[in-house]
Amino acid sequence: MDFLNYQNGKLFAHGHAIADIAKQYGTPLYVYSQNYIETQWIEFDNALKRRKHLICYAIKANSNLAILNALVKLGSGFDIVSQGELERTLKAGADPKKIVFSGVAKSTTEIERALDVGIKCFNVESEAELYRIQDVAKRLNKVAPISLRINPDVDAKTHPYISTGLRENKFGISHQLGLDVYKKAAKLSHIEICGIDCHIGSQLTELSPFLDAADRILSLVDELKSAGITIKHIDFGGGLGVCYDDEVPPKSSDLVNALLKKLTHYPDIEILFEPGRSIVANSGILITKVEYIKHQDDNHFAIVDAGMNDLIRPALYEAWMRILPAEQAGPDKPSYRYNVVGPICESSDVLGKERELAAQQDDLLVVCSAGAYGFSMASNYNSHPRPAEVMVDDNTHRLIRQRETFDMLWQGEII
């Protein structure tokens, strides 16, 4: 997160003091670096410049319209998993022909809408879904472009909640059944086989799972060719990890170069990737204010105004995220190993455990690496309005989502 740095003891983001940003927009507050987001996407795109390709940002990581629009301007495609995400990408100005539709439970209405706007491809995750898409396309007199999401049964070596490529996971079609389902798809009147898709998990920090999955996918591509089925694109999904603490994940160029070596004999196949976390995670921070300090026996608590409703990753799968003070403490301030906890009435409402801080009431803390799966997973639990979101660059900062009001909490409810 090179856009964050201390100047005379105060934390700045792109030359803007965190304290000043918080004073203007309030807390809790999400702040994103547009420069960082654009740089990450461009690096991924440049690594593939030798091949026909498409980078489809996985918008579940962070779906704010300002972020999507910035990526649209770079030429990005998008990976979506719901009609809501489809409508978001269209609102942001996306080209439907650059949208791939993943997800295990596509409804009839979602399929109709995607066919109506003309998306690039459905990533089909079950045989039953294939037949539903055929039925909808036939009724609408359209041809549905599809790829099958193949589950290669590869261990992504990540947290079980974000692993998707093992046979016990709900995602995709078993590698062993892939050829048979493709043959069935080839016989359907309103289905066009375009590609093959694979996504094995999230926050991968080594290349071997990607390469193992690629070997299985390419083996299936060869089998399909022998069966007379031509694959136009391979979608290698996303999942590239980022640094939250001391991880050293591969660069996007490392991943691309390793995979391209395996694709030497497939020069005409278009390559797709679906990065999400690697584009936005380290673009974002969550600013929160210390409401109270509480010392209890050997336990020390910094009770802040942001909770698991704002940032659920630590509570959901024990994610570790760096926490920094907005102002470095002087030597006269006592330091303790604090549990940084929020206002939610759950014992799991912990943003960070055992963090060495010299925190005091009304201080500002910054939770780092919060750009992915932060706001996009936020909720109104305990009837808390969701935070505002702000975009910063070298010259400006601007509001990209208003803070919710209390009236918004019960909008649509009826007494």
Give the Cα separation of 83 and 108 in Å (integer): 11
- What per-residue confidence (pLDDT) applies to 322? 97
Sign for the CA dihedral angle at 247, 41, 29, 317 comes to: negative
* b/e code 261-286 from CB counts within 10 Å (16+ = b): eebeebeebbbbbbbbbbbbbbbbbb
pLDDT in tens, the chain (415 residues): 889 999 999 999 999 999 999 999 999 999 999 999 999 999 999 999 989 999 999 999 999 999 999 999 999 999 999 999 999 999 999 999 999 999 999 999 999 999 999 999 999 999 999 999 999 999 999 999 999 999 887 765 544 544 444 555 677 899 899 999 999 999 999 999 999 999 888 888 889 888 999 999 999 999 999 999 999 999 999 988 999 998 888 899 999 999 999 999 999 999 999 999 999 999 999 999 999 999 999 999 999 999 999 999 999 989 999 999 999 988 888 999 999 999 999 999 999 999 999 999 999 999 999 999 999 999 999 999 999 999 999 889 999 999 999 999 999 999 9
CB contact at 8 A, 384 and 343: yes
Would you list the domain boundaries of the chain? 4-32+281-409, 34-280
Is the Cβ–Cβ distance between 209 and 172 less than 8 Å? no
Cα separation, 105 vs 132, whole angstroms? 11
First-residue to last-residue Cα distance in the chain? 47
pTM: 0.94
**Which pLDDT belongs to residue 159?**
43
Q: What is the pLDDT of residue 156?
A: 54
Active-site residue, from 56, 243, 345, 368: 345
Quick one: CA dihedral 25, 29, 30, 36, positive or negative? positive
pLDDT at 164: 47
345 is known as an active-site residue: yes
**Residue type for 411, please?**
Q
The second-level CATH assignment, the architecture, of 4-32+281-409 is Beta Barrel (2.40)
pLDDT of residue 23: 98
Listed in sequence order, the residues at least 6 apart from 73 whose beta carbon sits closer than 8 Å to its beta carbon are none
Overall fold of domain 34-280: TIM Barrel (3.20.20)
